């Protein structure tokens, strides 16, 4: 059964191929439809298979033409028009456009001029010096392609957290309904809330493993059974692989600790245990202080823990370490010293300072976004549409006159709203670190989010200087998605996160954790480095529609991976404290 992510991917490919073919306007409509399909709160295929085809047309951006294609794909697994376009342009468009600076139009031109269909074709042409001979290209473009080939080949092999975790939640809900399952939980990188996921790993405690495996592979959502046995099974659900492992209840905690990882954390924890006469593995914690050859048997020794994960850490005299921290970046030493952070939770978030409306590239009104924010239980909310500038696609940024007009509109909505509404803007940090806003506009605004959208190929030293310059600009309140990366699409800027943290602490500028699952920028290690320098953090959704306010979930867990506590995050503060920071 087609998932929303799978449907969205088809229309994103459709849009790219149309743009590569030189088609105007339609690609943008298909991309907007893809975004709304991906963010839709319920499985669209379920509605179609239940006979409710009309429900598809209620999705924003989905009219008759796109609706019919969605139905066609759900029912047949193909879209005839897309297949015809693939035949006309046999380009591996998804892979080729992962190269920084190579968009769909460029890919189309390279195909027409040089017959390039794959990354291998592109590499061969670039190495032969053929790319620079194409009109509009040159040696610098060719060199950029060769430098980014390795990245383009390695991304795309892992799913975004925002796509994989909802599937994992569905798997857990199914397993919880199975009578033979005592307990279940996700494991692996998805439990550590990594920004990209390989497979969805799930662990279940049961006294009847064969029955659970049998029910699991027969689950309605399973498209294919990859393999199965008495203790584990792997299946394909849509485009995702789901791996289930079953254990007896007495070993659930030890197995959960072991299979959650990370590998580096587990190695360090096992070494910590060995130094104390203990042995840890997936079967439990064992006192082996009196046993010379304790490697001869996995279960040798006096078993002192294993039923619960907390017990595995308690056996070593340590508090439970949250999964997000298990990256071997000092968490074991902090646990031993009693200095683990009191991590931020979703309930600590009081507002969101970076969102978009139909004034720029959002898809709804100021009123609708503010109402949706109020429904989240927020105390405050910020509208920060795009200002015009480098990197803003399709001229969607606001001129200074339009910014001032929007400020008035935001003030009018705020006067009637149940929550505080901030008038903001997302300004563009140019290649030199300037934001290009006049004093009149700055004075009219409550919040300035400054973000990079262009010149993302700068070296790390230049990029760090550029971002520090933006941080030091008095008008800037938040440095938005600092690297400008798009996961599985482009790598973005590299920079010294500690240097950004130092500048942010000195100039009272918050560094953003952008919660969009395609960004998650800053990421865990960068957040940790910035926090060690005293930087304030903002966790924003960059929402372009009400449904994506739910992205806050991904941002919170990303900040937790960086050891963030509530006091570190400006939008976890009381309104009065936030106002003081912004002013």
Tell me if residue 39 falls in helix, strand or coil: helix
Beta 284-287 vs 302-305: how paired, if at all? antiparallel
Domain end call among 109, 130, 154: 154
What pLDDT is recorded for position 153?
A: 78
What pLDDT is recorded for position 252?
A: 98
In the block, tokens 């929550």 appear at: 419
Could you tell me if 486 and 450 lie in one domain? yes
Q: What is the mean pLDDT of residues 177-188?
A: 98
Residue 394's pLDDT band (boundaries 50, 70, 90)? low
Q: What is the mean pLDDT of residues 212-231?
A: 94
What pLDDT is recorded for position 45?
A: 84
Does the CA dihedral 65-67-70-74 come out positive or negative? negative
CA distance 307 to 175: 19
CA distance 580 to 583: 5
Tens of pLDDT, residues 466-497: 999 999 999 999 999 999 999 988 888 889 99
What pLDDT is recorded for position 148?
A: 81
Residue 42's pLDDT band (boundaries 50, 70, 90)? low
Domain containing 323 equals: 256-337
Longest CA–CA separation in the chain, Å: 79
What percent of the chain is modeled with pLDDT above 70?
Answer: 97
Residue 459's pLDDT band (boundaries 50, 70, 90)? confident
Burial of 408 (0-12, 13-18, 19+ CB in 10 A): exposed
- Residue 506 in this model has a pLDDT that exceeds 70: yes
Residue 348's pLDDT band (boundaries 50, 70, 90)? very high
How many other β-carbons are positioned within 10 Å of the β-carbon of residue 176?
Answer: 11
Tens of pLDDT, residues 242-289: 999 999 999 999 999 999 999 999 999 999 999 999 999 999 999 999
Q: How many domains does the chain have?
A: 4
**What CATH number is given to the structural domain containing 45?**
1.10.150.110
Tell me the angle at which helices 497-507 and 460-472 cross, rounded to the nearest 10 degrees. Answer: 10
Could you tell me if 483 and 519 lie in one domain? yes
Could you tell me if 308 and 218 lie in one domain? no
User: Structure tokens of 160?
Assistant: 């975004």
How many other β-carbons are positioned within 10 Å of the β-carbon of residue 308?
Answer: 16
Average pLDDT along the chain: 93
Domain end call among 120, 154, 188: 154
User: Structure tokens of 466?
Assistant: 């550029």
Domain end call among 154, 178, 212: 154
CA distance 542 to 532: 25
CA distance 330 to 325: 9
User: Structure tokens of 561?
Assistant: 């991976």
**What CATH number is given to the structural domain containing 194?**
3.30.460.10
CA distance 196 to 157: 9
Could you tell me if 193 and 265 lie in one domain? no
What percent of the chain is modeled with pLDDT above 90?
Answer: 76
Residue 84's pLDDT band (boundaries 50, 70, 90)? very high
Residue 355's pLDDT band (boundaries 50, 70, 90)? very high
Could you tell me if 518 and 440 lie in one domain? yes
Q: Which DSSP helix (H) or strand (E) runs through 242?
A: strand 240-247
Angle, alpha carbons 424-426-432 (nearest 5°): 135
Could you tell me if 391 and 304 lie in one domain? no
Closest CA to 61 of 24, 40, 30: 30
- Residue 291 in this model has a pLDDT that exceeds 80: yes
Could you tell me if 274 and 385 lie in one domain? no
Tell me if residue 77 falls in helix, strand or coil: coil
Q: What is the mean pLDDT of residues 391-404?
A: 84
Tens of pLDDT, residues 138-147: 898 888 888 8
What pLDDT is recorded for position 189?
A: 96
**What CATH number is given to the structural domain containing 494?**
3.20.20.140
**What is the distance of C-alpha 184 from the center of its chain?**
24
Residue 331's pLDDT band (boundaries 50, 70, 90)? very high
User: Structure tokens of 399?
Assistant: 């001129």
Residue 155's pLDDT band (boundaries 50, 70, 90)? low
Could you tell me if 124 and 234 lie in one domain? no
Better-scored residue on pLDDT, 167 or 100 = 167
CA distance 551 to 515: 6
What pLDDT is recorded for position 156?
A: 63
Better-scored residue on pLDDT, 260 or 35 = 260
Could you tell me if 501 and 547 lie in one domain? yes
Residue 24's pLDDT band (boundaries 50, 70, 90)? confident
Could you tell me if 370 and 433 lie in one domain? yes
What pLDDT is recorded for position 393?
A: 61
Could you tell me if 15 and 48 lie in one domain? yes
CA distance 496 to 172: 39
Could you tell me if 470 and 538 lie in one domain? yes
Q: What is the mean pLDDT of residues 95-117?
A: 89
What pLDDT is recorded for position 418?
A: 96
Better-scored residue on pLDDT, 230 or 55 = 230
């Amino acid at each position: 059964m087609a998932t929303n992510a799978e449907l969205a991917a088809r229309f994103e490919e459709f849009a790219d191929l149309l743009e590569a073919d030189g088609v105007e306007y339609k690609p943008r409509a298909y991309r907007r439809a893809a975004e709304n399909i991906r963010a839709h709160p319920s499985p669209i295929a379920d509605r179609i298979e239940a006979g409710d085809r009309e429900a598809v047309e209620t999705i924003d951006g989905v009219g008759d033409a796109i609706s019919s294609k969605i139905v066609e794909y759900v029912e047949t697994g193909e879209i005839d028009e897309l297949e015809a376009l693939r035949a006309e342009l046999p380009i591996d468009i998804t892979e080729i456009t992962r190269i920084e600076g190579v968009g769909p139009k460029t890919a189309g031109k390279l195909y027409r001029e040089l017959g390039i269909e794959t990354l291998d074709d592109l590499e061969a042409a670039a190495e032969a010096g053929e790319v620079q001979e194409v009109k509009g290209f040159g040696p610098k473009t060719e060199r950029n392609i060769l430098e980014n080939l390795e990245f383009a080949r390695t991304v795309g092999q892992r799913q975004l957290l925002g796509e994989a975790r909802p599937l994992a939640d569905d798997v857990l809900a199914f397993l919880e309904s199975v009578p033979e399952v005592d307990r279940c939980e996700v494991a692996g990188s998805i439990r550590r809330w990594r920004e990209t996921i390989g497979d969805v790993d799930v662990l279940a405690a049961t006294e009847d493993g064969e029955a659970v495996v049998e029910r699991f592979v027969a689950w309605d959502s399973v498209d294919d059974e990859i393999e199965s046995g008495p203790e584990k099974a792997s299946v394909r659900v849509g485009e995702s692989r789901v791996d289930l492992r079953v254990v007896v209840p007495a070993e659930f905690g030890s197995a959960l600790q072991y299979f959650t990882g990370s590998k580096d954390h587990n190695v360090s924890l096992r070494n910590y245990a060995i130094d104390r006469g203990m042995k840890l593995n997936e079967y439990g914690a064992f006192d082996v202080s009196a046993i010379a050859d304790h490697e001869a048997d996995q279960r040798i020794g006096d078993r002192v823990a294993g039923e619960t994960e907390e017990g595995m850490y308690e056996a070593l005299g340590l508090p439970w370490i949250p999964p997000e921290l298990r990256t071997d970046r000092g968490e074991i030493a902090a646990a031993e010293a009693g200095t683990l952070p009191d991590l931020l939770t979703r309930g600590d978030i009081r507002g969101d300072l970076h969102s978009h409306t139909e004034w720029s590239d959002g898809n709804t009104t100021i009123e609708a976004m503010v109402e949706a924010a109020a429904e989240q239980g927020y105390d405050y909310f910020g509208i920060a549409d795009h200002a015009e500038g480098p990197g803003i696609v399709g001229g969607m940024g606001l001129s200074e006159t339009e910014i001032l007009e929007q400020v008035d509109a935001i003030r009018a909505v705020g006067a009637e709203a149940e929550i505080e509404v901030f008038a903001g803007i997302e300004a563009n940090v140019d290649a030199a670190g300037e934001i290009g806003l006049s004093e009149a506009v700055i004075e009219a605004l409550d919040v300035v989010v400054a973000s990079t959208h262009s010149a993302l190929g700068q070296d790390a030293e230049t990029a760090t200087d550029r971002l520090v310059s933006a941080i030091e600009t008095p008008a800037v309140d938040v440095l938005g998605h600092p690297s400008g990366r798009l996961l599985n699409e482009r790598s973005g800027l590299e920079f010294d996160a500690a240097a950004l943290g130092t500048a942010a602490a000195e100039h009272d500028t918050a560094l953003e954790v952008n919660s969009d699952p395609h960004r998650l920028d800053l990421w865990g290690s960068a957040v940790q480095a910035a926090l060690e320098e005293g930087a304030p953090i903002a966790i924003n959704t960059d929402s372009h529609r009400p449904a994506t306010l739910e992205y806050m979930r991904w941002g919170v867990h990303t900040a937790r991976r960086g050891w963030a506590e509530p006091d570190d995050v400006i939008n976890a503060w009381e309104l009065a404290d936030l106002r003081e920071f912004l002013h």
